[in-house]
Structure 1
């Protein structure tokens, strides 16, 4: 029997985004407990470990009948554990999913208990920030318990959620939380208002087809009063819920104790006596749960199986749960079956071999020769279609593109499909390399199998920003980059190309410059890892490309500022010092050696930080090419420095076209997902430097959306042209 400290582990309750929850037994006090363990891979993640321990501290200071209680905080083999009371019951989401419907009296009872618990937490300066049905457990004794304080905020804590990162579950999130603004107790009140509306009306007031639609409705939609759509709903309750759902937090209720008192008063005035919650389990027989939730018991102890042993974690957020009963004892039972029936073991081994031969292409080829498995199907590639995987500083992107074909060769480029996975490869941690190999393999399968492309129609390339980052960090990072290349080759059979800054500058510039400005414009791609570009000029020997590159981008400059000043918020003085010491000399040397940088009439810019600037400044402009000014650059930088919440963007309600409004909202969400606010500040400072030194005030500035342009388009085009020429020669 596995033990954690003085607690016996008798089963697994569930698994969430940060850890596993076990069912344990305390022999000394003869009681069941819930033991929450942080996943081992997060032990070295300072942010996740701090958030995990913060939950224990938050629970420890708010003992209340309607809040799950913490018994102990324990550490074993470097893994922290939170020991909490074991709750015999089901969460509100599970009950509703099972078809349980609540009377008005029961609904008021639930809301009153939750309001009491949250109000007590608020009085003790704890804000939950993720109040939703899955985090409200109704026990068989009729009590309602608030659980999962993993993202709660302690008012006096020095550990804060990073600016620009939204926590909480979307459907129950307050408008201010969705915008990434600082939250207070009124955010929890809003979430409880959503739950109240849902319990009384039957549906979530902000439901939509997708997450973007939900967020849009949270920010703009006011649900109708319950009294107007629900016959028999007390008017005072309808008005109270409407106040809780007010978009302006200053117009909400003063506190939740008043709402709890209101719920109890309505029950008394209406003479509602059927509010007991313990009766909810009368229609749920123990047999319904027994098979899926049976847990192993200590050998020398006789105890009753809890009929409600189900997971209580956030399945709607993580999508990952484990059935109770999966654990050491369950594995032991399987082992006994296999050892007592060797025929079953032999058949199982044969099945595993056949599955392996079928799934992995290399084994499939061997299996086909032996007659054990069919050969991998030959892909018939659509004419002119190629796939590429770009490993960049901010993520890994797969693109499917079609080229028109004629006697002269390949023609126009048309993007057919794309996928993007956020990556931390630029950090060069061991986990980052492992995850990048996995992500590249996943995207390679998507390109190969999902679009029927053979290996000679697929390329994988690493941006110069990732390459430069390795060189700046030192030999150990260069070695890990080589490890990435080797493992990608082993996993996919595809050789990964490393792109230099000069190559990337030429490919990117030729890709984004329009024909009419090819000799008069400067092209600049402000990436996450570096800035590259250049211009074309005529010479005696023909056209000559003059490259211009700086070994920093928005994210790598942010890391440089951290090294210079410490990993705190980027102060303007610190940014100026870093740029003056490390970036300005490089740029001035480029300008002195390449005077053409100053005499270009137009500048065509691409890259993530420019996309962020244009989206947050002109959200209504959706054209592939957007004109902007040097003053827009300075205004963007000043807004982000003075108010990090400015990343939320302008008032989208001014956009008349709802489709454009939704598209702008999605892009703002993507910006917040891709960039930390410090990286936006660093990228803004870099753009201000370029605007001042390259005299952007005298030039026409154009943003070219990266979705349609960029160096990788040029790289894929060159590769496709060569493949087409080889095929033609054969």
Structure 2
């Protein structure tokens, strides 16, 4: 044998021995370390290597008859197959992990994995939220799916029944009770949503009215249907709580540390942001578009003239309300300096509908301060032209019909004075918000009208797992 051949044989033997040694070392590693390596490889998207380590951990765990490590290995394989779109393998691995976790009494982990299993199977869980508001009762049905480790929320249905709950009369109480009964019937029979995923809440605006007469508990009992499951409580929330829930329901989770949210309602204006310590900081005014309109009409001494209305509104801002806005934002530097503001409310919906009818199919509509300033001007000077646009030459017939139907709903909901009052109030609030960052992006989410009830459901789901972990 030549010298070269001998060297090649020696190198081959050396490589074989090193490989064998490394393999033995890997096999001798604690299962916990193998699982940690597999998780790191999965995070780094080294899928083939991760799969090898999970299977190696699984073999070790079975040999040692360690159910916990077996469950972890199956869970890891489920996550890996889910990420690589191997749904049947993922489902099989998750089912085995869930069974082992339940046997070990680890209910929280098993419940979370059950959600992941449903996700890979394309199944979501339906939740129902009933909002009892001052001017109507609203039902929102939301599907929750766990996607890439985060809950994904999709509005599946919404419907409302107009009532005048804030009137606090026998008739209004009866109408509210009947409306809640009808919507609860829909929840049970049409969507078959269990009581554990059904939530009924009195809005902050209605609670404010009820608080004046100390009738919150009374009202909650009066409008409670006889057939309502005893485990379903009728909750009520404050303005600050509603602001925080709206933030959770409207602002995407990925943007919650960098964006703000503001809902310009009829009775109040509320929003907020998350500070550096992950604490929600509310921003609230006890005034909204409708309450501002009432103040203007009172100052205008009953005049029906739109010019008098505009003068009274602008004078009211100059004399007092402008200072109130400045005072509320005096120490909200973070709120004013951020780059993105999610804005919602009837007036924002109206502006998006009338200023950008071509965006009827978009779930997120970006607005500018100029849009709001132009709207404020056109409502006063060119109202009829603004609410009767000719869209058929600039849009498809289907989109034009959808947009005109949306505009018709705006006009039926708000008259010229309501739109003018709303645009003035919104414009003045945004002027103060934009003092630190005038280039702030303004985004109107079309689903914002179910924002806080969605946030309430999100909060309940989160607390559900927190409470389970403490048991």
TM-score range, shorter chain: 0.5 to 0.7
- Counterpart in the other structure of 1:447: 187
- Residue 700 in 1 paired to residue 441 in 2? yes
TM-score normalised per structure 2? 0.65
Partner of residue 373 from structure 2, selected from 630, 634, 644 = 634
**1:264-290 per-position Cα deviation (integer Å, ceiling 9, x unaligned):** xxxxxxxxxxxxxxxxxxxxxxxxxxx
Deviation at 1:567, TM superposition (A): 5.0
**Counterparts in 2 of 1:552 and 1:431: CA distance versus 1, 3 Å:** farther
Partner secondary structure for residue 348 of structure 2: helix
Deviation at 1:651, TM superposition (A): 1.9
| Cα contact 1:394–1:674 (8 A) shared by 2 | no
- Counterpart in the other structure of 2:128: 387
Partner of residue 413 from structure 1, selected from 145, 153, 160 = 153
Distance in 2 between residues matched to 1:554 and 1:492, nearest whole Å = 37
- Counterpart in the other structure of 1:584: 322
Distance in 2 between residues matched to 1:646 and 1:524, nearest whole Å = 29
**1:274-313 per-position Cα deviation (integer Å, ceiling 9, x unaligned):** xxxxxxxxxxxxxxxxxxxxxxxxxxxxxxxxxxxxxxxx
Partner of residue 522 from structure 1, selected from 254, 260, 285 = 260
**Counterparts in 2 of 1:636 and 1:676: CA distance versus 1, 3 Å:** same
Equivalent residues, number: 340
- Residue 498 in 1 paired to residue 233 in 2? no
Distance in 1 between residues matched to 2:357 and 2:413, nearest whole Å = 17
Distance in 1 between residues matched to 2:383 and 2:172, nearest whole Å = 28
- Counterpart in the other structure of 1:691: 430
- Residue 679 in 1 paired to residue 418 in 2? yes
TM-score normalised per structure 1? 0.43
Deviation at 1:398, TM superposition (A): 0.4
The worse-fitting range, judged by mean Cα deviation, of 608-617 and 529-538 is 529-538
- Counterpart in the other structure of 1:720: 461
**Counterparts in 2 of 1:669 and 1:427: CA distance versus 1, 3 Å:** farther
**Counterparts in 2 of 1:676 and 1:590: CA distance versus 1, 3 Å:** same
**1:606-653 per-position Cα deviation (integer Å, ceiling 9, x unaligned):** 222101101011011021111111111111122223354356242222
| Cα contact 1:598–1:695 (8 A) shared by 2 | yes
- Residue 489 in 1 paired to residue 224 in 2? yes
Query: Whose relative contact order is higher, 1 or 2, with alpha carbons under 8 Å and at least 6 apart?
Result: 2
Deviation at 1:469, TM superposition (A): 4.5
Distance in 2 between residues matched to 1:557 and 1:391, nearest whole Å = 23
**1:431-459 per-position Cα deviation (integer Å, ceiling 9, x unaligned):** 43432222222212111222112333211
| Cα contact 1:606–1:710 (8 A) shared by 2 | no
Partner secondary structure for residue 529 of structure 1: coil
- Residue 561 in 1 paired to residue 296 in 2? yes
| Cα contact 2:267–2:288 (8 A) shared by 1 | yes
Q: How does 1:325-336 map to 2 (within 5 A)?
A: none
- Residue 611 in 1 paired to residue 346 in 2? no
**1:569-613 per-position Cα deviation (integer Å, ceiling 9, x unaligned):** 460122224444563333221111322232122221122210110
- Counterpart in the other structure of 1:398: 139
- Counterpart in the other structure of 1:87: none
Deviation at 1:710, TM superposition (A): 1.4
Distance in 2 between residues matched to 1:708 and 1:550, nearest whole Å = 19
Partner secondary structure for residue 223 of structure 2: helix
**Counterparts in 2 of 1:454 and 1:488: CA distance versus 1, 3 Å:** farther
Distance in 2 between residues matched to 1:578 and 1:562, nearest whole Å = 11
- Counterpart in the other structure of 1:466: 206
Q: How does 1:542-561 map to 2 (within 5 A)?
A: 542-561=277-296
**1:218-268 per-position Cα deviation (integer Å, ceiling 9, x unaligned):** xxxxxxxxxxxxxxxxxxxxxxxxxxxxxxxxxxxxxxxxxxxxxxxxxxx
- Counterpart in the other structure of 2:362: 623
**Counterparts in 2 of 1:639 and 1:468: CA distance versus 1, 3 Å:** farther
Partner secondary structure for residue 519 of structure 1: coil
- Residue 650 in 1 paired to residue 389 in 2? yes
The worse-fitting range, judged by mean Cα deviation, of 645-654 and 392-401 is 645-654
Distance in 1 between residues matched to 2:353 and 2:388, nearest whole Å = 8
**Counterparts in 2 of 1:436 and 1:645: CA distance versus 1, 3 Å:** farther
**1:129-175 per-position Cα deviation (integer Å, ceiling 9, x unaligned):** xxxxxxxxxxxxxxxxxxxxxxxxxxxxxxxxxxxxxxxxxxxxxxx
Deviation at 1:722, TM superposition (A): 3.8
| Cα contact 1:393–1:529 (8 A) shared by 2 | no
Distance in 1 between residues matched to 2:319 and 2:177, nearest whole Å = 36
Distance in 1 between residues matched to 2:148 and 2:432, nearest whole Å = 46
Distance in 1 between residues matched to 2:314 and 2:168, nearest whole Å = 27
- Counterpart in the other structure of 1:594: 332
Distance in 2 between residues matched to 1:656 and 1:515, nearest whole Å = 34
**Counterparts in 2 of 1:678 and 1:438: CA distance versus 1, 3 Å:** farther
**Counterparts in 2 of 1:710 and 1:690: CA distance versus 1, 3 Å:** same
| Cα contact 1:437–1:484 (8 A) shared by 2 | no
The worse-fitting range, judged by mean Cα deviation, of 601-610 and 428-437 is 428-437
- Counterpart in the other structure of 1:662: 401
Distance in 2 between residues matched to 1:694 and 1:492, nearest whole Å = 47
**1:32-82 per-position Cα deviation (integer Å, ceiling 9, x unaligned):** xxxxxxxxxxxxxxxxxxxxxxxxxxxxxxxxxxxxxxxxxxxxxxxxxxx
Deviation at 1:489, TM superposition (A): 2.3
Partner secondary structure for residue 357 of structure 2: coil
Q: Which has the higher helix share?
A: 2
Partner of residue 177 from structure 2, selected from 437, 448, 456 = 437
Deviation at 1:427, TM superposition (A): 4.8
Q: How does 1:260-271 map to 2 (within 5 A)?
A: none
Query: Unpaired segments of 5 or more residues in structure 2?
Result: 1-122
Distance in 1 between residues matched to 2:147 and 2:373, nearest whole Å = 47
**Counterparts in 2 of 1:661 and 1:728: CA distance versus 1, 3 Å:** farther
Distance in 2 between residues matched to 1:566 and 1:486, nearest whole Å = 40
Distance in 2 between residues matched to 1:614 and 1:407, nearest whole Å = 32
